[in-house]
Amino acid sequence: MSFVVKYRSRTSGGREIIRAKTVDSDTLKIGRSAECDIVLSDLGVTLHHATIQLSGKSQVTIVTEENLPVTVNGRSTTRADISAVRGGTVRIGPHRLSIGIGDGEGEEGRIAITVDREESADKVKAHRMFSLAGVVPGKRITSWVFVALILLSCLAFPIYSYYSSKGVEQRADGFHADTLWVSGAMSDGHANLANDCQSCHVEAFVSVRDSACVECHTDIPDHAEADLMATAEPELGFGRSFLRTVATAFNRPERSCASCHVEHEGAGRMAAAPQQFCADCHTDLDTRLTETSLLNAHDFGSDHPEFRPRIMTRPADENGMARYRRVSIDDEPQENTGLKFPHELHLSDTNGVARMAQRLSDEYGFGEALDCADCHVATPDGTRFEPISMEANCQMCHSLAFDRIGGTVRTLRHGEPEMVIADIRAFYRGTSPRRPIDLSGMERRRPGDDSRARTVGRYQFAARTRYAQADSAIRAVFSRDGACFDCHEVERPPTRASLAFDIVPVRQISRYMHDGWFDHAAHETEDCSTCHVASESEEASDVLLPGIETCRDCHAGAVAGGNEIVSTCAMCHSYHADDAAPYLVRARNNRGQRPRSVRDYGGLAINPRGDR
């Protein structure tokens, strides 16, 4: 005999699913254990809860385990007989076992036991209990709370801050809610404004205007006339003209301070404007700004004109004014400072100059030969060099001594030609010729008076005409091989008889590059001769400045490779045209930054701001 066991369950949609199996046995074990014939997976059922036995042709007996009564046809019992023909229901926990005669295909005559679960509990309610909704705050309320909190604290409160401090000269210390809007730390220079948004953001929904900047920065010269700058600007490409259209549409001014000086980009110094900003206009500048005297440039490494130092063409014109001209290094400029000075002669280590240096080395600290630094002394900031002076740099060798009285050496007065003339005259007037040896008292002389009388006569003549000798002495001093002539341009007197000699004034140039900036201190790692070929210069008129190619040995443009140094425009040029060092140099000085590698622009230990 065999049973048919059908498990009936329902899908969530209500459809009935029946799984049937046939058990060929006279007894059926019921329980939670997998070994049972009817498995009721419910913790309310024990592993082996009850047994159904066949006790007749169509009758079964259900026997439960001890102490585990089941409900048979509504009656709780531990043992019951059930007729399959009449049908019966056994309830075990939530399960209902309906016993009857099989009616399906292949079930005829067998006893069928249909197992299904009763689900009396409210499904919807159970579902809600099982969800998280009971233990956490609802999504809707949390959303509203967060929205309200954020809008109040991050929008309404800052806006209130703005309107409450409007028109206030300086904000009080303490918290101002609009600082919640700060998009990044202020640069060091503006750090004091960090709590006072309105010092720059004056009007709501209006971008920062130049007027806010110049309120403090009163003495910043502009780069050039506004109309010239507008003309110089190149035709923008599609992308940038689109961006400009957008900027204009949003009422954002062009060419404003903030176009280059971007704030809120972190503490530290404000970043310098990118080279592209300069190159935009200065690339092919002459095609747009046809009147300009400026040459085109867009990158130091690849497109920059040869240097055009401002050299002196005459130290003094008719009015005594120096004449200057800008000449390209390519054109081998000749300058005229009024001085004669062969560098080659002075720097040689084999000639008389070197010998003299050796002789004077104890007194003046010279080496085996003269060195640049023996005469050229750096300015205190190290940027440039002090002018050469006769007293400090020449006189140790080029003596102007002409007389000695007691132990004191008398010298001609440097820089005052008329004094020189007067001193020479005075010398000849106040002194007598050296007394011949045979006129002294203890003379040893040839016998007779004849010789003595002749000597007296000659001496008297010499003494009588001595004053007139001053003329030739003066001439000699101002002429070839004379003390003045050696180093100076001499202005000859208008007539031959006149002695009104004069010296062309000497002027020295302290700064050749007026549109650029060169700092010697930054280059102290180099020898002078790396850039200045002084040891081969025979004339003072040689301009010993290096050309751009020399600089390019180390300085690349905006993009550097190997050991080259990144050198953007701002390294040497200042946008705001004042005479001070360019921005990059100043910024580095102010921070006292020491370079870590050659890429950090070489040894910069330069002057504080304001040094020219």
Q: Select the residue interacting with another protein from 9, 241, 361, 530 (CB under 8 A).
A: 9
* Closest CA relative to residue 115, chosen from 25, 50, 203, 24: 50
Contact status, residue 88 vs residue 66, Cβ threshold 8 Å = no
Q: Which is nearer to another protein, 266 or 365 (by Cβ)?
A: 266
75 binds another protein (CB under 8 A): no
What does the per-residue mask of binding to another protein show for 117-156, with x meaning CB under 8 A? xxxxxxx--xx-xxxx-xxxx-x--xxxxxx-xxx--xx-
Query: What's the CA gap between 295 and 385, in Å, rounded?
Result: 28
**For another protein, the closer CB: 271 or 394:** 271
User: Cβ closer to another protein: 223 or 376?
Assistant: 223
Q: How far is the CB of 41 from another protein (least distance, A)?
A: 5
226 forms part of the interface with another protein (CB under 8 A): no
What is the nearest approach in angstroms of another protein to the Cβ of residue 195?
13
Position 265 contacts another protein (CB under 8 A): yes
Per-residue contact flags (x/-) with another protein for residues 38 to 67, judged by CB under 8 A:
---xxxx-x--------------------x
236 touches another protein (CB under 8 A): no
- Helix (H) / strand (E) element for 27: namely strand 27-31
Q: How many CB atoms lie within 10 A of CB 43?
A: 7
State the minimum distance, in angstroms, from the CB of residue 165 to another protein. 13
* Distance in Å, CB of 125 to another protein, minimum: 9
Helix (H) / strand (E) element for 60: namely strand 59-64
| Contact track, another protein, 175-214, x by CB under 8 A | ---x-xxxxxx-----------x---x--xxxxx------
Q: Quote the longest CA-to-CA distance of the chain.
A: 195
Least distance (Å) between residue 8 CB and another protein: 11
State the minimum distance, in angstroms, from the CB of residue 262 to another protein.
6
The nearest distance, CB 514 to another protein, in angstroms, is 28
Select from 104, 266, 352, 415 the one that contacts another protein (CB under 8 A). Answer: 266
Contacts of residue 532, defined as CB under 8 A and 6 or more positions apart, other chains included, come to: 372, 544, 545, 546
Q: Which stretch binds another protein (CB under 8 A): 173-181, 348-356, 496-504, 581-589?
A: 173-181
The encoded tokens of residue 412 equal: 């001609």
What distance in Å separates the CA atoms of residue 81 and residue 98, rounded to the nearest whole number? 13
How far is Cα 91 from Cα 322, in angstroms, rounded to an integer?
Answer: 125
Binding to another protein (CB under 8 A) within 270-299 occurs at 271-274, 276
Shortest distance, CB of residue 142 to another protein, whole angstroms?
Answer: 4
Site string for another protein, 510-549 (x = CB under 8 A): ----------------------------------------
CB of 150 to another protein, least distance (A): 4
Task: Kindly give the residue spans of alpha helices, DSSP state H, lying in 405-449.
Answer: 417-430
Measured from the CB of residue 536, what is the shortest distance to another protein in angstroms? 44
**Which pairing describes strands 79-83 and 59-64: parallel, antiparallel, or unpaired?**
antiparallel
* Sign, CA torsion 360/364/370/376: negative
How many residues sit close enough to another protein to count as binding (CB under 8 A)? 68
Q: Which among 217-225, 261-269, 294-302, 413-421 is the span making contact with another protein, rule CB under 8 A? A: 261-269
The half-sphere exposure of 196 on its side-chain side, counting CA atoms within 13 A, is: 15
Contact 104, 20 (CB under 8 A): yes
CB of 580 to another protein, least distance (A): 22
- The Cα-based distances of 87 to 73, 82, 110, 111, 265 in angstroms read 10, 7, 13, 10, 87
Tokens standing for residue 313: 């063409």
- Under the criterion CB under 8 A, does residue 168 sit at the interface with another protein? no
| Residue number, 157 or 324, with CB nearest to another protein | 157
189 closest CA partner among 139, 290, 257, 138: 257
| Distances, alpha carbon 310 to alpha carbons 331, 416, 515, 574, in Å | 13, 29, 10, 18
Task: Write the interaction track for another protein spanning residues 449-488; mark x where CB under 8 A is met and - where it is not.
Answer: ----------------------------------------
Q: Facing residues of 310 across strands?
A: 326
**Quick one: how far is CA 274 from the chain centroid?**
10
Would you tell me the crossing angle of helices 417-430 and 450-478 to the nearest 10 degrees? Answer: 180
Taking residue 399's Cβ as centre, other Cβ atoms within 10 Å add up to 12
8 A C-beta contact, residue 514 and residue 521: no
Residues forming contacts to another protein in the complex (CB under 8 A) are 9, 17, 19, 41-44, 46, 67, 93-94, 117-123, 126-127, 129-132, 134-137, 139, 142-147, 149-151, 154-155, 158-159, 162, 178, 180-185, 197, 201, 204-208, 243, 252, 262, 264-266, 271-274, 276
